[in-house]
């Protein structure tokens, strides 16, 4: 197997296993709601707690990856996720659940900085955007698998809790395989105090990450509330899980297609990647409006698949666009900053969405996410005009 192909395959496998553990929480929101008697607003805090843990460790993780290389950090992170995943269904109270999912989030902080660095350090130019898009499919694939896994097992005698035990076991097995197969070592050998001041001093990086805030709010809110919303229009929890999986399939298609187009568009990489990301932001805004118009489970399946194509399909191109703004040796730190703003949107988006849904209805909440997509598009348009 060609070295580049082998590397992308093993990093993709790592990302799938990690995302199964992490996104199993999103697939379980309806079960958390039933188990602890939660409102839509409080369900949002489960996602916020998960994302808060993720956010707190992003900068230290990015610095550790830049200093010691991604291999050690990725192995340790996946082992930790496998062990913590089994604790989620054992949580005896809502407060303990919040603490456990926050811990799971801290370990998932190794994912994007580490896997992105693995791609940009080891894949030749001209193939990086497609490789990154394929690697990012690991996020949506893992999320889709977790959606089917949790909702399917919920209908058996084992209950939804067993889904987390399976996820933990998969993570530990893949961590062992990754340790054997992935032998590349990178890093400067020293860890400096993480600082993003010089990066955010760049106007284009600042605007790109600001757009990431609004896009991140849409991404994490969509994955957190799809099951609950589809159930609200008359679907069973099993069918709602299929819809969430379809969202991830759409996102996977968006990531691969955008990456392939990004590698082959003529002209400046910065212009090409920004234009593709702009199309994805506009598509997200329109798709959020589209889901409000559906009134049946099957129509929801179509509408949410299209939504996934745009709102979950943008992340590969987001980091590809970022790679045109910084040097490759800074991608661990730059990715951490970019993921930080995505997560900031995820911290505020889900509870705000849930609050609007409780006070008004789901339609108003989806329209609010559409407005966030418009703001993101405006920021990206300003970058594209400057880059031309």
CATH of the domain at 60: 1.20.1250.20
Mean pLDDT across 104-121: 86
Tell me what pLDDT residue 277 has: 94
- Looking at the predicted structure, is the pLDDT value of residue 78 above 80? yes
Whether the CB-CB separation of 25 and 101 falls below 8 Å is answered with yes
For residue 247, what are its two tokens?
């969202």
Domains contained in the chain, number? 1
Could you tell me the pLDDT band of residue 16, with boundaries at 50, 70 and 90? very high
- Between CA 231 and CA 248 the distance in angstroms is 18
Chain centroid, CA 285 distance in Å: 18
CA distances (Å), 237 to each of 155, 348, 365, in order? 9, 26, 21
Structural domain for 285, as ranges: 3-184+198-387
pLDDT higher at 203 or 99: 99
**pLDDT of the residue at 192:** 64
pTM here is 0.78
pLDDT at residue 1 is higher than 60? no
Residue with tokens 């899980």: 241
- pLDDT, mean over the chain: 87
Mean pLDDT of 106-111: 92
Q: What angle do CA 169, 175, 181 make, to 5 degrees?
A: 140
pLDDT of 376 strictly over 80 = yes
Render pLDDT for 219-278 as a digit per residue (tens, 0 to 9).
989 988 998 999 999 888 889 889 988 998 898 888 888 887 877 777 688 888 999 999
How large is the average pLDDT for residues 208-223? 94
* pLDDT tens by residue, 298-313: 999 999 999 999 998 8
Residue 168, C-beta contacts closer than 8 angstroms, at least 6 positions apart = 21, 81, 82, 83, 84, 85, 86
The average pLDDT across 21-31 equals 91
Instruction: State residue 167's pLDDT score.
Output: 95
Residue 320 has pLDDT above 90, yes or no: no
How much is the pLDDT for 388?
63
Q: What is the CB neighbour count within 10 angstroms for residue 155?
A: 13
Q: Which of 282, 299, 8, 234 is nearest to 128 (CA)?
A: 8
Q: Has residue 190 been placed in a domain? A: no
Is the pLDDT reported for residue 70 higher than 70?
Answer: yes
% of the chain surpassing 90 pLDDT: 47
Average pLDDT over residues 192-207: 79
121 found inside a domain:
yes
* For the ranges 46-50, 54-58, 140-144, the one whose mean pLDDT is highest: 46-50
Average pLDDT of the residues in 82-99? 95
Name the more confident of 375 and 47: 375
192 found inside a domain: no
In a domain, 203, yes or no: yes
Q: How confident is the model at residue 357 (pLDDT cuts 50, 70, 90)?
A: very high
354-382 average pLDDT score: 95
């Amino acid at each position: 197997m060609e070295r580049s192909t082998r590397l992308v395959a093993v990093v993709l496998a790592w990302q799938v296993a990690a995302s199964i553990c992490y996104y199993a929480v999103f697939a379980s929101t309806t079960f958390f709601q039933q188990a602890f008697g939660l409102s839509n607003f409080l369900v949002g805090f489960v996602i916020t707690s998960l994302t808060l843990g993720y956010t707190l460790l992003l900068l230290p993780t990015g610095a550790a990856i830049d200093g010691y290389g991604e291999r050690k950090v990725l192995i340790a992170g996946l082992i930790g996720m496998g062990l913590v995943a089994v604790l989620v269904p054992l949580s005896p109270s809502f407060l303990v659940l919040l603490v456990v999912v926050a811990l799971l989030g801290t370990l998932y902080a190794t994912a994007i900085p580490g896997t992105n660095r693995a791609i940009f350090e080891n894949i030749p130019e001209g193939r990086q955007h497609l490789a990154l898009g394929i690697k990012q499919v690991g996020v949506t694939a893992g999320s889709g698998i977790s959606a089917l896994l949790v909702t399917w097992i919920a209908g058996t005698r084992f209950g939804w809790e067993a889904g987390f035990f399976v996820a933990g076991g998969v993570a530990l097995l893949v961590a062992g395989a990754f340790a054997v197969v992935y032998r590349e070592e990178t890093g400067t050998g020293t860890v400096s105090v993480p600082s993003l001041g010089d990066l955010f001093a760049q106007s284009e990086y600042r605007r790109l990450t600001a757009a990431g805030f609004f896009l991140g709010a849409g991404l994490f809110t969509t994955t957190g509330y799809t099951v609950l919303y589809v159930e609200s229009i008359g679907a069973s929890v099993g069918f709602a899980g299929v819809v969430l999986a379809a969202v991830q399939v759409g996102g996977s298609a968006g990531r691969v297609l955008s990456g392939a187009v990004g590698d082959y568009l003529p002209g400046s990489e910065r212009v090409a990647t920004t234009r593709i990301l702009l199309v994805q932001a506009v598509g997200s805004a329109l798709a959020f409006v589209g889901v409000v118009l559906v009134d049946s489970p099957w129509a929801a399946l179509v509408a949410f698949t299209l939504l996934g194509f745009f709102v979950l399909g943008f992340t590969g191109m987001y980091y590809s666009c970022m790679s045109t703004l910084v040097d490759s040796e800074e991608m661990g730190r730059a990715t951490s900053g970019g993921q930080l703003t995505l997560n900031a949107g995820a911290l505020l988006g889900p509870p705000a969405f849930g609050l609007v849904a409780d006070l008004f209805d789901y339609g108003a909440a989806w329209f609010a996410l559409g407005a966030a997509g418009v703001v993101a598009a405006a920021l990206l348009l300003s970058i594209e005009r400057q880059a031309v």
